[in-house]
Amino acid sequence: MKVCRRSFLSLIIGGAAGTTLSPLPLKMMDDSSIWTQMWPWTPVPEDGEVSHVDSICTLCPGGCGITVRKVATTIGDRAIKIEGMKGHPVNDGGICVLGLSGLQLLYGPTRVKTPLKRAGARGEGRWEKISWDEAIAEVVKKLGELRGKGKSHTVACISGTDSGTTAHLLGRFLTVYGSPNFIRIPSIQDSYELTMHLMQGVQASAGFDVENSDFVLSFGSGLIEGWGSPVRMIKANSMWKERGKVVQIESRLSNTAAKADKWVAINPGTEAALALSIAHVIIQKSLYSADFVNNYSSGFEEFKQIVLNEFSPDDVSEITGVSASTIESLAKSFAGASKPLAVCGRGQGETPGSLNEFIAVHALNALVGNINKKGGVCAVPDPDYIKWPEVEMDRTAANGMHKGRIDGAGSKKYPDTRYLLDRLPDAINSGEKYPIEALFVAGANPVYTIPDTKAVKEAFNRVAFVVSFSSYMDETAENADLILPNHVFLERYEDVPTPVGLQKPIIGLSKPVVKPQFNTKHLGDVILLMAKSFGGRIADAFPWDSYEACLKKTLGNKWDGLVNNGFWADSNFRPAAWEGAFNTPSGKFEFVNKGRAESIKIEGDEQAYPLILMPYDSMRLASGFIGDPPFAIKTVEDTVLKGNDIFVEVNPRSARGFREGDHAILSTPKGSVKVRVHHFDGIMPGLVALPRGLGHTAYDEYLAGKGINFNELIGPVEDPVSGLNVAWGIRAKLTRA
């Protein structure tokens, strides 16, 4: 057959038309999609024998008991689910978003898998893998040099906690090495400890018997948003629904305010005045506990004069925006309740509050006599089980310890404050005292969590040698010279003393649920190894072979019970009776009257910045040293985060033409960022609110780059009495993007 032009074209065109019109391409596409569905990238999780391990979650200071489900497989034990531990005194089976996502931290891509030494410039992200021997030798060499030059005091350590054996080992190492600069991460714990110290003369943390209280007056505390031990507080909130009342005093309709029986919207920063005005009504109408006030308190007359003269409901109503009749009714219902409780510390309590405010609120508790009582506030001593022999310092160490702290805590200006981390960046940058040559960071992420991120980064750049003990590649680890990764909480032993806010001393034991997944080492063991390399008095202070041996010995006869039950509770503990509860000079509860009039002024000029920016906290956003794992970030609403854009809450009345979802520039004296606007009728006009816990630059692609870190927009404001950073907001403006 001859192929002519016509037949050739017919073939081509006919073929093309036939192929197009036939179901073949569609069929092939369908087949290939079904075929690729069967490809083995959808995992088939291996099954095996199931077992459970009880432990303690240490992702926040809440100290919840957890039960971890494991399955034994050919690749070893796999932890497959974290659940709340039934019967635990803190959380009894309940658990929060972060705790539930713990396995994503254990197995996640953010883990630091081996000791790392910086290879490029600071923060560049180029690392060299080194062995543990090399890593420890490197630290010891640097510390030895400094000590040799008599500069041991130029070493500082930032720690997430100061309780428990690991933190004690760290503190002990610093002391015997010769540095006074052990610094705990700030929180309302500082403010409450100081309040307890000044008013009750005790070194104790404040415990709140929330389960037994029937009237809770909260000055802005995010009772169900992570304040105290989060799961315990949410449980208590459910109890209050049945037999109790909650009044939330706050300028924004938080979840706590929405769930409270009454929400009192107050001008921000005027909480102390409101508390004193409530005291005014209680005293004027003689609603206070005469027994407590007359027999167990001192300074009441002076206190009475001040509040009666200066804090009448009419005057205070003008300052706070709360009507005089509301103040009167609050006072009456508070004093009239059988077990009233007043608490403060904004949001999750990550920023300390002004001492003025804490003292005013605690005075309310004293007026109704609920100190160390059922349903009230208790002074809870540390469970006193760490009884190691006193360290013996050599002369170098003693000299170093005499130099005085870099942050000014315990100095003449701030004699009663123990730690002032928020002053550290300025102390380093100004260089007025002495430089910091080496910085250790453990269980903390200061580059992210300390206000004024720019200043913090500058301070880090001035420190020649930064060592991070982080298990995760967080912002601080990224800016370190050396990372000595700790095991994560599911891989290590750790004692967890009394969770924050609990009214009785307990100890929890974190246990290894699975074997260490990577080449990490327990921080306790690293300290012991460092001390041994030093020899001399330093090594003598650490007579244990391993951290586990140290922990077992320290816990003594409590160990077996802790291993079996997961926690130890002091069943004999009773809060001290009023006769012997107060170690003040008068032996009585002190109505402290100093610094009363001073209120905290926030940064920024009202003309240039007509709005006030405040942070808000959420259970779904971890804002501490742990970043949100993928499950947690998935629960965040699309009116908070959309793509990488963060939303600020604005009242439609003060939105000035910004419509819902509009892009805007949010500026404060500290910086400007791009945001989007979300209209929220629950926020007081004139305020803008930004969620905490976003804006990470480190961690993985599931978290990094999403939103803005609130700390970039705010700087510290010092409390005149305590020196703590008590900035509750900052002046701000919104402009067109």
Partner 1 sequence: MKEQHKHTKAKKYGMVIDLDKCTGCGACMAACMAENNVPFKKDESNKLDSITWMRVYKLTNGKKFPEADICYLPRPCMHCEGDHGHAPCVSVCPATATDYSHETGIVSQIYTRCFGCRYCMAACPYHARYFNWWDPVWPDGMEKYLSPNVSPRMRGVVEKCSFCFHRHQLAMNKAYTESRRELKEDEYQTSCTQACPAGAIIFGDLNNPDHAVTKIAKPDHKHGGRPINPNAFRLLERLGTNPKVYYLSSRRWVRRAGDNYIRDERGQGNH
- Using the rule CB under 8 A, which residue among 181, 213, 277, 651 binds partner 1? 651
Q: Does 579 bind partner 1 (CB under 8 A)?
A: no
Minimum distance, C-beta of residue 104 to partner 1, in the bound complex (Å)? 6
Q: Does 96 bind partner 1 (CB under 8 A)?
A: yes
Q: Does 37 bind partner 1 (CB under 8 A)?
A: yes
Residues between 398 and 417 that touch partner 1 (CB under 8 A): none
Task: Output 251 or 476, the one with its CB closest to partner 1.
Answer: 251
Residues between 42 and 81 that touch partner 1 (CB under 8 A): 42-48, 71, 75, 78-81
Nearest Cα neighbor of 377 from 503, 544, 517 is 503
- Using the rule CB under 8 A, which residue among 57, 60, 66, 100 binds partner 1? 100
Task: Output 46 or 302, the one with its CB closest to partner 1.
Answer: 46
Minimum distance, C-beta of residue 697 to partner 1, in the bound complex (Å)? 16
Q: Does 480 bind partner 1 (CB under 8 A)?
A: no
Structure tokens at 294: 């007359």
Q: Does 685 bind partner 1 (CB under 8 A)?
A: yes
SS3 379: strand
Task: Output 28 or 80, the one with its CB closest to partner 1.
Answer: 80
Structure tokens at 729: 């907001």
Q: Does 83 bind partner 1 (CB under 8 A)?
A: yes
Minimum distance, C-beta of residue 652 to partner 1, in the bound complex (Å)? 8
Rounded Cα distance, 726 and 199, in Å: 20
Backbone angles phi, psi at 689, to 5 degrees: -125, 140
Q: Does 41 bind partner 1 (CB under 8 A)?
A: yes
- Render 36-80 in DSSP notation, one character per residue: HHTSTTS--PPP-EEEEEEEE--SSTT--EEEEEEEEETTEEEEE
Q: Identify whether the C-beta of residue 676 lies closer than 8 Å to the C-beta of residue 691.
A: no
Q: Identify whether the C-beta of residue 314 lies closer than 8 Å to the C-beta of residue 601.
A: no
Element housing 207 (H / E): strand 205-208
- Using the rule CB under 8 A, which residue among 553, 637, 665, 674 binds partner 1? 637
- Using the rule CB under 8 A, which residue among 126, 594, 634, 674 binds partner 1? 634
Residues between 604 and 623 that touch partner 1 (CB under 8 A): 619-620
Rounded Cα distance, 504 and 574, in Å: 8
Residues between 491 and 520 that touch partner 1 (CB under 8 A): 517
Minimum distance, C-beta of residue 686 to partner 1, in the bound complex (Å)? 10
Rounded Cα distance, 301 and 296, in Å: 13
Minimum distance, C-beta of residue 734 to partner 1, in the bound complex (Å)? 18
To which residue do tokens 């370190």 refer? 480
Task: Output 450 or 641, the one with its CB closest to partner 1.
Answer: 641
Describe the crossing of helices 313-320 and 271-284 by its angle, rounded to 10 degrees: 160
Describe the crossing of helices 324-336 and 271-284 by its angle, rounded to 10 degrees: 70
Task: Output 70 or 522, the one with its CB closest to partner 1.
Answer: 70
Contacts of residue 172, Cβ cutoff 8 Å, sequence gap at least 6: 388, 391, 541, 542
Task: Output 233 or 283, the one with its CB closest to partner 1.
Answer: 233
- Using the rule CB under 8 A, which residue among 55, 58, 91, 453 binds partner 1? 91
Q: Does 84 bind partner 1 (CB under 8 A)?
A: yes
Minimum distance, C-beta of residue 573 to partner 1, in the bound complex (Å)? 25
Q: Does 586 bind partner 1 (CB under 8 A)?
A: no
Minimum distance, C-beta of residue 61 to partner 1, in the bound complex (Å)? 16
Rounded Cα distance, 114 and 137, in Å: 15
Task: Output 42 or 564, the one with its CB closest to partner 1.
Answer: 42
Minimum distance, C-beta of residue 576 to partner 1, in the bound complex (Å)? 31
Among 106-114, 413-421, 481-489, 659-667, the segment contacting partner 1 (CB under 8 A) = 106-114
Task: Output 8 or 518, the one with its CB closest to partner 1.
Answer: 518
Minimum distance, C-beta of residue 688 to partner 1, in the bound complex (Å)? 14
Cα angle 592, 595, 600; round to 5: 125
Q: Does 653 bind partner 1 (CB under 8 A)?
A: yes
Minimum distance, C-beta of residue 252 to partner 1, in the bound complex (Å)? 9
Rounded Cα distance, 406 and 418, in Å: 12
Minimum distance, C-beta of residue 95 to partner 1, in the bound complex (Å)? 5
Q: Which residues pair with 31 in a beta bridge?
A: none
How many of the chain's residues bind partner 1 (CB under 8 A)?
78
Task: Output 515 or 601, the one with its CB closest to partner 1.
Answer: 515
* Residue 216 CA, distance from chain mean position: 23
Minimum distance, C-beta of residue 666 to partner 1, in the bound complex (Å)? 19
Describe the crossing of helices 188-195 and 355-367 by its angle, rounded to 10 degrees: 50
Rounded Cα distance, 361 and 282, in Å: 13
Contacts of residue 708, Cβ cutoff 8 Å, sequence gap at least 6: 646, 673, 675, 690, 694, 695
Task: Output 23 or 45, the one with its CB closest to partner 1.
Answer: 45
Contacts of residue 465, Cβ cutoff 8 Å, sequence gap at least 6: 142, 437, 438, 439, 481, 482
Residues between 241 and 280 that touch partner 1 (CB under 8 A): 241, 253, 255, 258-259, 263, 265
Q: Does 82 bind partner 1 (CB under 8 A)?
A: yes
Task: Output 641 or 730, the one with its CB closest to partner 1.
Answer: 641
Task: Output 358 or 702, the one with its CB closest to partner 1.
Answer: 702
Residues between 185 and 244 that touch partner 1 (CB under 8 A): 224-225, 230-231, 234-235, 237-238, 241
- Using the rule CB under 8 A, which residue among 170, 636, 724, 734 binds partner 1? 636
- Using the rule CB under 8 A, which residue among 301, 384, 606, 701 binds partner 1? 701
* Longest pairwise C-alpha distance within the chain: 123
Rg of the Cα trace of the chain?
29
- Using the rule CB under 8 A, which residue among 631, 656, 660, 671 binds partner 1? 631
Q: Identify whether the C-beta of residue 431 lies closer than 8 Å to the C-beta of residue 695.
A: no
Distances (CA, A) of 233 to 208, 225, 516, 688: 10, 9, 32, 27
SS3 230: helix
Parallel, antiparallel or unpaired: strands 589-590 and 297-298? parallel
Nearest Cα neighbor of 616 from 642, 637, 643, 591 is 637
